[in-house]
Amino acid sequence: MTNAVPVPASATKAEIIAGFEECWASMTALCRTLTEHEWTTESICPGWQTKHVLLHRTAGEIGFSRWDRSGPLSDELGGYYESLRESTGAEILAEFERIIAVRRTQLTGMDETDFDAQCWTPAGPSTYRRYMEITLFDHWAHEQDIRVPLAKPGNLSGLGAEFSLNEAHIALGYLIGKRANAPQGARVTIHVTSPTTRDLHVVVDGRAQVVAKLNDPTVELTTDFATFMLLCCGRIDPAGPLDDERVTLSGDTALGEAVATNLAFTI
């Protein structure tokens, strides 16, 4: 376990490619098991069935394979999505497998300079490297959108999980300082437990800052990795895990509840 504060756009090309390989393989293995009924089961991504979740990721990879980085990738994605919308789950999976082979070749052929090229990202202007870190999180999170309602847990440890936890870790200062409105002097620790573990710390000193270590926290929250990430992705009502103690609090419980109910930074 490392509690070091992650640095955006710091992953190497090799780490990013390994992360994608792991996530692509996990998604493919999962989707190869799905029945016709499961392809049309409602995911936990609002408004999308299982096949629509895979369609989103497939359209995204098609977009990356053709993107010249001169403008937002999102300008192109709608057309790719609509072109496959009436396809069956099996047909979408076949297209997903085709396009990840293209993307594997494309990413492998790039060098570190290519990854440092300036481009638009969902988090604002940055680098292609940063966009790939964000995309790994997007891929991992959408796989969970499929797995959770089908009761097929998986991919909760490894590179995809670590990249995804990094994104939540990076966002935590904003979430606690702005969303949860933690007061000056507040010191918050979140213990993320099995199977991907990390202690996350935020101090409010002028502004909320993520720090690597912290003594005498005002409040401590403890929760398992899957629950923490579902809260960060806005996929579950925080009242549930607070009531059934998947999230436990010690110290300033009012602040702890404010933190637990304001962790969502993506929908």
In a domain, 160, yes or no: no
Q: Is 150 exposed, middle or buried (0-12, 13-18, 19+ CB in 10 A)?
A: middle
Q: What is the pTM of this model?
A: 0.95
Tokens 């437990």 appear where?
Answer: 193
Give the C-alpha separation, 187 to 209, whole Å.
10
Structural domain that includes position 78: 13-155
Return the number of other C-beta atoms located less than 10 Å from residue 223's C-beta. Answer: 23
Does 191 lie in the same domain as 135? no
Q: Is 94 left (phi over 0), alpha (psi -120 to 50) or beta?
A: alpha
Does 121 lie in the same domain as 67? yes
Average pLDDT of the chain to the nearest whole number = 95
Note the pLDDT tens digit of each residue in 56-104: 999 999 999 999 887 787 766 777 778 888 899 999 999 999 999 999 9
Reduced to 3 states (helix: H, G, I; strand: E, B; else coil), residue 115 is helix
Domain boundary among 106, 127, 155: 155
User: Residues 185-196, buried b or exposed e (16+ Cβ, 10 A)?
Assistant: ebbbbbbbbeeb
Angle subtended by helix axes 74-84 and 50-66, to nearest 10: 130
Does 211 lie in the same domain as 141? no
Domain boundary among 155, 187, 202: 155
- At residue 73, the pLDDT reads 79
Strand partners, 226: none
In a domain, 78, yes or no: yes
